[in-house]
A and B are shown apart, each in its own frame.
Chain A
Amino acid sequence: MIDFLLDFSQGTGIYAFMNSPWGWPIAESIHFLGLCLLIGTVGLFDLRMMGFAKEISLSELHRLIPIGVAGYLLNVITGTMFLSTAPDQYLYNPAVQSKSFFMLIAGINMLFFYATTAADVQSGASSSRVVLRAKIMAGISLVCWCAVIVCGRLITYYRPPYHWCLWC
């Protein structure tokens, strides 16, 4: 896996860019910009579903979600750049594993939301069951994305991961 990622990184020029003087901080800046776009759109949508700023139309606020998706794509691209350039620092790092776990939960939660609740929410359905379900999903989403940021910050603290990781 490590060899495959390194080959990919070197073959695509990512490795050379990331090891240039400003490659890493530029990628980190873009990564955090993506997270801010995600929090600014998905996070605000979650807060609205949880009952904050009720005068805002949910369907109108939902129009901002494509900006959050763009932010997420920035994160996927830059995240791949980090991972493929220094795979040994990331693959075995429990902070990365925790971050991936919270991203997975957020993703499943989002799929579940769009499959079961999104249409009701956007049409303005106000039955207490729909409202409660939407609030719980919004809470899970917000907690997960905040946890992703926290785990992202933790990554640096557990480098190199071999010395302390209990399950690596």
Chain B
Amino acid sequence: MRESGIAFFSSLTLHSLSMAFVVGINFVVALRVVGFAPRLEIAALCRFYVIHWYAAALIFISGSALLLAYPAKALTNPVFYIKLCAIIIGLLISKRIQSTFSNKPDVSIDSTCIKLAYLSIVLWIVTLTAGRFLAYTHSILLASRFY
């Protein structure tokens, strides 16, 4: 992974592309839940979660490949754990919103859903920011420097 330019670049590109779809779909659904475009049916919008979950799977596959390439760089950086926690909680909220609204056009939006939608927006911004800061905050690149 580390020595093959194509493998590393492909993983990085796939990670960015799938992240754009996951974050984009979550933003749109969350904005709808908090009141944007009120005539747009949330239940219908939930159809895009199919793409969202495929993209989320690609995030974990490409993310694992990137982690294998530079394990010490990520695992010794607290920002990596912030990103990981934000993604996991963000995806759990996605699952909750999807199960609340998917195929249920008559469900009303309660205050818990609105709070979760705001939290989702914050968590995905944290994920993006932490992802970018990973490249600038590592203190160790390769564990081999200790041997």
Chain A residues proximal to chain B, CB less than 8 Å: 22, 24-26, 28-29, 32-33, 35-41, 43-44, 47, 52-53, 55-57, 60-61, 63-64, 67, 146, 149-150, 152-154, 157
Contact = CB atoms under 8 A, between A and B. Distances in A.
B57 interface: no
20 contacts: A25-B133, A26-B129, A29-B132, A32-B128, A32-B131, A36-B19, A36-B24, A37-B27, A40-B21, A44-B24, A47-B51, A60-B37, A67-B36, A150-B13, A150-B17, A152-B16, A153-B9, A153-B16, A154-B9, A157-B5
Contacts, number: 109
Contacts of B146: none
Interface of B: 5, 9, 12-13, 16-17, 19-21, 23-28, 31, 36-37, 39-41, 44-45, 47-48, 51, 124-125, 128-129, 131-133, 135-136
A36 B48 contact: no
A142 B61 CA distance: 23
Given A29-B128, A61-B40, A44 B9 contact: no
Nearest 5 CB-CB pairs, A to B? Answer: A40-B24, A53-B47, A39-B24, A36-B23, A29-B129
Given A36-B23, A64-B36, A153-B9, A56 B44 contact: yes
Contacts of A157: 5, 9
A22 B79 CA distance: 14
Contacts of A52: 47-48, 51
A38 B21 CA distance: 10
Most buried by A among B12, B20, B26, B36: B20
A35 B39 contact: no
B20 A149 contact: yes
